[in-house]
Amino acid sequence: MSFNTLGLAPALVRAVREQGYHAPTAIQAAAIPAILRGRDVLGLAQTGSGKTAAFALPLIQRVTEAEGQRQLRAIVLAPTRELAAQTGEVLRDLARTLPQRLKIAVAFGGVSINPQLMGLRGGCDLIVATPGRLLDLIEHNALRLSGVQSLVLDEADRLLDLGFADELNRILALLPSQRQNLFFSATFPAPVKSLAEGLLREPERIEIAPEPARSDAIRQRAIHVDQAQRTPLLRHLLKTEGWARLLVFVASRYAAEHVSDKLWAQGVRAAALHGELSQGARSKVLAALRTGDVQVLVATDVAARGLDIPELPAVLNYDLPRAAADYTHRIGRTGRAGESGVAVSFIPADAEAHFRLIEKRQGRRVPREQIPGFEAKVLASQAQAVGGIKGRRVSKKDKLRAEAAHKSGAVA
């Protein structure tokens, strides 16, 4: 299949080729014709599946086909600043060579609103924004929503995870009732399903399963290690594996800063990325990673969502994700564009049961490893005896048995 067969205008097909798109991905082949027909769409696809172009291409075409003077006709809502900026860049690149010049705005918090207000003078055709900043712009009378024909919720699961439900409801109340709604999400938990059911009208549901070839391109490793030895083991792997770039996932802002500081103190070019950094600091970190001035990026899930790091050879789960679906998104950062990659997970004793659940959900067993010099001293069975495994509580009888076994061992 080619982009010529999807109903796109010849100018957009040329733009696609100039951007290096050779053939549509599964989500693009299914979504583009449906969006061009004006249908509401529910798209479920993992990160890296090409969903941004899946809605960007038909959205641009529908905006250029609209008659009348310039006014805001389409809104893309994104959960993070990085994703908003990345989506805006894709839209502008695809629209750059079109005969009709589109004005595409990008707006997000964490930076001064004044340049964004100035940029909206004279209106715009399409805006990519985080929900809070979009409301700020509306309150400053910089935007009018009366002409909006299409609304896109990108990474809808993260929009809810990050607490944007109230902002979303306020925005929806301001939009025209007759509009096209495009809803894209990597996961589909109950709150996301409820939002979709209330928003979409007879949607065309498009669900794209992970591509086996892409999964096979990622070699998964699981290493037993004690909690206190994770950072020393990380430094050891950096020395022995030769990774030019590494994305390390941690559970919190504190962990991101703590691990990156420890690495930096040992001569490793590391930086932290989390949601509390200013936009200027975040941009500086990402630029340093792409130029090679930073080798290791230590990030939280929220900060990393929407990042596209070219030629990333490895990712490492310093902390396991809470949800099994997030594990898939994390490791999917590597092994892209036909390249191979490796995904390493540190498995302390109290995380063993949770990793087994992740294995069960992905239908794949990952052999456990021990690295010489970093062997785990605490085993999963010992952690279970003191109630350390997530999701299992030790009964009173089990505690009494453990105490009796300990006493008998001490007597012997």
Q: Where are the domains of the chain?
A: 3-207, 212-378
Say if 3-207 and 212-378 have the same CATH topology: yes
CATH superfamily of 3-207: P-loop containing nucleotide triphosphate hydrolases (3.40.50.300)
Q: What percent of the chain has pLDDT over 90?
A: 52
Architecture of the domain spanning 212-378: 3-Layer(aba) Sandwich (3.40)
Cα separations (Å) of 42 from 2, 39, 189? 23, 10, 14
pLDDT over 90 (residue 232)? yes
Please report the pLDDT score of residue 293 as a whole number.
Answer: 92
pLDDT over 50 (residue 412)? no
pLDDT over 90 (residue 16)? no
Please report the pLDDT score of residue 238 as a whole number.
Answer: 96
Please report the pLDDT score of residue 408 as a whole number.
Answer: 42
184 pLDDT tier (thresholds 50, 70, 90): very high
Please report the pLDDT score of residue 279 as a whole number.
Answer: 65
Note the Cα 96 to chain centre separation in Å.
26
pLDDT over 60 (residue 259)? yes
Average pLDDT over residues 344-365: 92
Residue 408 CA to residue 412 CA, distance in Å, equals 6
Please report the pLDDT score of residue 299 as a whole number.
Answer: 92
Tell me: the pLDDT tens digits for 68-110? 778 999 999 999 887 888 899 889 988 988 888 899 999 999 8
Please report the pLDDT score of residue 386 as a whole number.
Answer: 42
pLDDT over 50 (residue 388)? no
pLDDT over 50 (residue 411)? no
222 pLDDT tier (thresholds 50, 70, 90): very high
Torsion of CA 10, 16, 19, 21, to 10 degrees: -140
Tell me: the pLDDT tens digits for 260-304? 999 999 999 999 998 777 767 877 888 888 888 999 999 988 767
- Considering only CA atoms, which of 268, 264, 272 is closest in space to residue 238? 268
Residue 113 CA to residue 18 CA, distance in Å, equals 33
**pLDDT, averaged across the chain:** 85
Contact 78, 68 (CB under 8 A): no
Of 89-93, 224-228, 241-245, 376-380, which range is least confident?
A: 376-380
Q: Which residues are bridge partners to 105 per DSSP?
A: 127
